[in-house]
Structure 1
Amino acid sequence: MCFALTGCYYLFMSGVEGSYSATGAPLLGRVTSRDEQTGGTLEIGSAEKQQCKGWYRLSQVKTNRWKLETGERTYQGRIYCVDGREGEIEFTSADRGRTGSISGKISGEAFQVNLIKPKKSHCDTEECRWGFKWTNENELSDSPYWKGGANRQLSSADQ
């Protein structure tokens, strides 16, 4: 539990790996969250290229019969890809977003990724830490489609 006066800070990053269900094509990426209550971002792609980015928000907190939180949370969100595809994601975690699995569909194509521990603990690069080496990390932020998707997501979250 974190109180505003204590000065604690929640910043979490984990790698993800998985695949598209139908083809078995591998997916790698990362999850980042600054607040376990609201959610975070998901970035996925091949080992060489970031392809999709999405947001997820807290949708359900599981409680026990005494109405105390168990730590299990479900997050839901949207994902947008540089090639114009988009879809929905669901993130299920037993420990407030620090581990778990993310499943979803991008233009009807199902995928699943699991949060992973770093491949090596003392690393300075994404390739060493999570196993991917994205050549152009700004490709998504420069894409007109990505900007449109981000604007739609932000405007719907404000309502």
Structure 2
Amino acid sequence: MTTKNLQIATVGGGCFWCTEAVFQEVKGVEEVISGYSGGTVPGRPTYREICSGLTGHAEVVQVTFDANVISYEDILVIFMTTHDPTTLNQQGADRGTQYRSVIYYHGDKQKEIADLVLKEMMPYYEQPIVTELSAAPVFYEAEKEHQDFYESNPEYGYCSFVIDPKLAKLRALHSDKLK
């Protein structure tokens, strides 16, 4: 029996429902928690406050993964290819700083890997990558109704029109990394 090498990645690529659904299908991912990070307003933010765009927080997911199964680099490549890292403060119809593309690194090694992935991905996009790269701030878990959203609401319109295409892209580009 091999020991797990659990690590955390924190990323935001628009609505956390999308990013959560993507990573829940990835082999080696142990847990995905939707939440908020990067804001300047003190205290625990609420979804309503985040949606106002006034708190400075981004909708993010905290991904716990087994680095013996999937690397941090692979986590970031999946992230970068399943959302649009070239649109500032926007993913599709979702607009505002809370929907920014962001990688919050946990330590120098993750920063180094993230820098490398961002550079390697640049030639694949016509527009410049605007993904923010910052040290991981405090992570606040989102309210219960936002956890496992796609899994609990697959027929919800947003899931059908926004999340399903992202999952199709994940399956087409990264089939070897799926559970």
The answer, yes or no, to whether TM exceeds 0.5 is no
- Higher Rg of the two aligned structures: 1
Between 1 and 2, higher relative CO (CA 8 Å, sep ≥ 6) is seen in: 2
Q: Counting helix residues as a fraction of each chain, which structure ranks higher?
A: 2
Q: Counting strand residues as a fraction of each chain, which structure ranks higher?
A: 1
> With structure 1 as the length reference, what TM-score do the two structures score?
0.40
